[in-house]
Structure formats: C-alpha cells, structure tokens
Amino acid sequence: MRDAEQLDRDDPLAHLRARYVGSETPLVYLDGNSLGRPLRSTAERMAAFVADEWGGRLIRGWDESWMELPLVVGDEIAAACLGAAPGQTTVGDSTTVLLYKALRAACALRPDRTEVVLCRDDFPTDRYVAASVARELGLSLRWVEVDPAAGVTPKSVAAQLSGRTACVLLSHVAYRSAWLADAAAITAAAHDAGAVVLWDLSHSVGSVPLALDDWGVDLAVGCTYKYLGGGPGSPAFVYVAARHLDRVDQPVTGWMGHADPFAMGPEWTPAPGIRRMISGTPPVVGMLALRDTVATIAEVGMEAVRAKSVALTSYAVELADQLLAPLGAELASPRDPDRRGGHVTVDHPRMREVVARLWERDVIPDYRDPGGLRVGLAPLSTSFAEVGAGMRAAAEVLAHA
C-alpha cells in the first residue's frame, strides 16, 4: 500500500487545499462530486457583496454589472473548463430546468424527426425530463442499455441511431460508475446520422478536460455545485454552439431573454446570441461562489486538475482492492483511468448501512443504489491522506457490519 503522506508531499496541487474552509479539521470529506467545499475567498467575496454591491449600490447594481453576470460567468466557465469560445455559455436556473430548455431547443433543431436516444442508466432527472419532453412533443424514447458498472460506448449509441433520431442526450460521466464516455466519437456518430447531441456535464465539468468546440458538441448543460464549488443550489450553465445561436428556440421565453427586456412589449423577440437561453431574473448571489473555484481551475489548468483526479481515483481503486475486496466488495467503476471520471464506486449489499455509520464518524462518502459506496474526489480540495483514512474506515465498518 502506497504511503498517503508521501503522495501528498509529491502532489503539485497540495498547497491549494489550505484555501478551503474546513480543510484543517479531521473530518474526511469524500463527497466532493455532490457538493464541493467552499473556498475561504468565497466567504470574503460574499461578505463584500452584501456590504458593497447589494448594500452600497442597491438597484444600480443591475446596470453596473448584474445584468451581464450570467454571460460573464458563463464565459469564465467556458474558458477554464469547457474548451469553448466566448459567447456560447450562460448561467441560470437549475440543471433540471436548463436540461429541459436545452432538450426542447435541441429537438426543435430537427423538427422532422421523432426520437430521442438516451441511456437507461443515466441520472434520473435526465430520464424524467426526456420523458416529459417526449410527451409534450409526441416523440419516442430510444434506450441505450448499458452495464451499470460501465457506460455508453460509440458502438452502443450508434446501434440506436437512425434517420428518426432528433437528439442524443447523454451524461459525459456516469453518475454511478464514473464511466467516461467518448464524447468526440459519440458526437460524430450522432452527426453522421443527422442528429444533434446534448451532453450533461454535471459529473465531468471541473474534473475532466472538455473540448466542446473541438468535439463539435451542439448543446450541453451542467451543474456548478460539485467540482465548481458554487454551493448548495448554485445555478447551472448551458452551452449552445455558435452555429446554432441564430435559430435556437427554447420554450421558457422569459423577459430577460428578450432582445429588449425593458421595452415591455406585447410579444417575445429573442435576444441575439446565448442571452436568448435566459428566462427570468439572473441568480446573482448564486453565481458568486463558483467564480472563485473557476478562477482557481484557470490558475492551475484542467490538465493538472485531471492528473490529480486520476491519481486520487487510482489510489482509491488500489485501496478498494486491498481493503474492501477481501470483505466481499466489488469495484463498480472502470479500472482504466482513461475511461474513469472523478469518482469511484464500490458495491456491497451492506453499503447503505456502512455509509450511515461512516457519517456518524465524520467520514463522508456517498451512497448510490444498489449497494454502492461512492467516493467523490475533488482534485483541488481532497488529499491522499483523506482517501486513505476514508477507505480504511470503510473497511473497518464493513468488517463489523
């Protein structure tokens, strides 16, 4: 078993951990892919906002910066994390709402087609939203069946494509197994069939390098409270490729997406560019925290973030093999780091009970049915020592479960 303290000494990103609130406590936090730790600078930013911008500028803040903030922050996310040029990303609404808007918009780009292709094992919201859109538009859902310990492949997706496919909706990293889909190849296959692609990036943004422009992605959505550190309920983002912006048609046509919001006219006229994807008043306070994490990612670069992520998950797999497998647990994530995102899942029938007991000990992993201990490893804030302590604690609890 490799020494965690030595791994931390050799880690070029180890110094970043001290920037996070709570990093000095003995709590072992292995759920950064559900809710990231806050940066200390975020507490300062939010306090200054209340005192200076909200308290000092009041309604003038809208004219001075807040109205443009969804586009500004969208471009920051795009540059640091998405591999996307400016003007294609905006922030606002929840992931569920943006997914709905983006899927309706994607299907509207192919109005003569009747099917949406998606994965049976994708996150429930994706499946539920797709079912709602299908009911509204009279579409059919065509399912890609996968091994829950793995995920979609270009071959499995291509088998479901046809001239009837309007949109392919998939998660880039599977929420349960951490399977990392080949987004470039799958996008190309969908385009060969004449379909558009909508990627859910919630479990990859800020953990896995993305190249949306180079891959030819049409639309994408993702949350910001995981690896982007936006905090509980922070708003999601949506990306629409520049080639679609002059004709993308989203269904929630609120006043903030109007070409002239304060004209208060009788009919909705879409704003030019990505602003047309905005519906209501931007969640200004909700965008504050994520800017600090996005800036930190930009500071070190996604390649360094990915290298740390691979090192952390590889160490977790190593420990799972040594400590948990002898107790009957099975790895439910890919062993190949090129096919693995930023978390690791280990299955055992008693894992729900194990996770509950670990939380009582201030060891915080996650649980996902059926029987999955999910270890979410945020590269900027998680240490190798935390991974070691958490996996040893899991083995101890499982041995007595």
* Residue 165, Ramachandran bin (φ over 0: left; ψ between -120 and 50: alpha; else beta): beta
Give the number of other Cβ atoms within 10 Å of residue 135's Cβ. Answer: 9
5/10 Cα distance (integer angstroms): 9
Contact 277, 245 (CB under 8 A): no
For residue 370, cis peptide bond before it (omega within 30 degrees of 0): yes
98/104 Cα distance (integer angstroms): 10
**Is 123 an annotated catalytic residue?**
yes
Q: What is the sign, positive or negative, of the torsion defined by CA atoms of 67, 204, 101, 182?
A: positive
Q: Which residue has the tokens 């000990």?
A: 361
Give the number of other Cβ atoms within 10 Å of residue 84's Cβ. Answer: 24
**Is 200 an annotated catalytic residue?**
yes
Given 113, 226, 276, 308, which residue is catalytic?
226
Given 104, 275, 276, 374, which residue is catalytic?
374
For the chain, the distance separating the N- and C-terminal CA atoms, rounded to the nearest angstrom, is: 24
Given 225, 237, 239, 315, which residue is catalytic?
225
Amino acid at 194: G
Question: Residue length, the chain?
Answer: 401
* CA torsion, ordered 94, 78, 134, 181, to nearest 10 deg: -110
Amino acid at 232: P
Give the number of other Cβ atoms within 10 Å of residue 338's Cβ. Answer: 8
**Is 239 an annotated catalytic residue?**
no
Strands, E assignment, 323-400: 330-331, 343-347, 363-364, 366-368, 372-376
Given 20, 29, 100, 123, which residue is catalytic?
123
Given 11, 31, 182, 200, which residue is catalytic?
200
Give the number of other Cβ atoms within 10 Å of residue 163's Cβ. Answer: 11
141/7 Cα distance (integer angstroms): 46
Residues with catalytic annotation?
A: 123, 200, 225-226, 374
